[in-house]
Amino acid sequence: MKRGFLSAADLTRDGALGLFALAAELKQQWKAGRRPSPLAGRTLALIFEKPSLRTRVTLEVGLIQLGGRAVYLSGHEIGLGTRESVADIARNLSRWVDGIAARVYEHATVEGLARHATVPVINALSDFEHPCQALADFFTLWERGLDLSRLRLAWVGDGNNVCHSVVLLGALFGTTTVVACPPGYGPDARVVEVVRRLGGRYELTEDPRAAATGADVLYTDVWTSMGQEAERERRLEVFRRYQINETLVGFARPSALVMHCLPAHRGEEITDGVLDGPQSIVLDQAENRLHAQKAIILQLLGGSPDDV
């Protein structure tokens, strides 16, 4: 992760654990009222083609808490790839800021930014991966003292960008990830190939109950993501068996945790009773986006952990 963070596969196991330890330290210090500024004077450009609640707030607040500043740039405002080429935007921003975080439609866009920038680039979401989310998710499990190498994590629903990052990071930790998707909606073959190369314990099934049986973690995401609105009605029909509800949770271990990256379409991929229930840790995940991303930013922008 020397030049940026575009994919969960950019990490090593030890590197990810190091980020967890740093995130935990940052979280503890902030809650204890300590306010260090290891990134005083540093700036991060936020390029957002897609709107966001959690990603924008946690990145901006994270920079503030570390003593830096964020500059928000909407895709429409800068004409990413239309008014000005991705390469030219990357080259210009590199002269002004210390890093770039980009939330984009196409993964090629964030790759292009990283290729032409001379400052670190963070993938804050693309159509192919959401590595910041997955890092926060596994940090949330890790800080609970769970042995990631012994977990069975069942992903139920669409094999989308978040799923890609979750199975990639799971492969680093030795987590058994079982993905339950309708035919044709599984993870991209390129991701599965990397998981296999990493020696990951990965399974794909069309049966959500088989995936949930004995699971320590149940994870889902919306069935229709931004940019897929035209497919909504078809997806509602295809995915209706893949809802995380009280019945499906009953197939998991009694201590199983329920995860969702949010926002949720309540009553579609997950019921209110499960999302708001005692096994749900969705708000812990959301909070930990802040702390995990602070660790990423601090490492990439060169702030010294000794200053924290």
**Nearest CA among 201, 272, 281 for reference residue 243:** 272
Q: Measure the CA–CA gap between 209 and 206, rounded to whole angstroms.
A: 9
Q: Which of 98, 158, 216, 221 is the catalytic position?
A: 221
Given the structure tokens 């596994």, which residue do they identify?
138
Residue at 169: amino acid letter: L
Catalytically annotated residue among 42, 54, 116, 130:
130
Tokens 């500024």 sit on residue: 37
Asked if residue 155 lies in contact with residue 163, where contact means CB atoms within 8 angstroms, the answer is yes
- Active-site position among 103, 107, 152, 235: 103
Sheet containing 121-125: order of strands: 4-5, 121-125, 99-103, 43-48, 69-74
> What's the CA gap between 253 and 206, in Å, rounded?
20
- Is 261 known to be catalytic? yes
Catalytic residue from among 65, 133, 285, 299: 133
**Residue 307 appears among annotated catalytic residues:** no
Token duo for residue 150: 């012994």
Active site residue 133: yes
- Position 304: which residue type? S
DSSP string computed for 218-268: EEE--SS-TT-GGGHHHHHHHHGGG-B-HHHHTTS-TT-EEEE-S---BTT
> Is position 35 annotated as part of the catalytic site?
no
Of 261, 291, 293, 299, the catalytic one is 261
Look up 98 and say whether it is catalytic. no
Residue 130 annotated to the active site: yes
Active site residue: 243, 289, 293, 299, which one? 289
Edge-to-edge strand list for the sheet holding 217-220:
201-205, 176-180, 152-156, 217-220, 257-260
Known catalytic residues? 103, 130, 133, 221, 261, 289
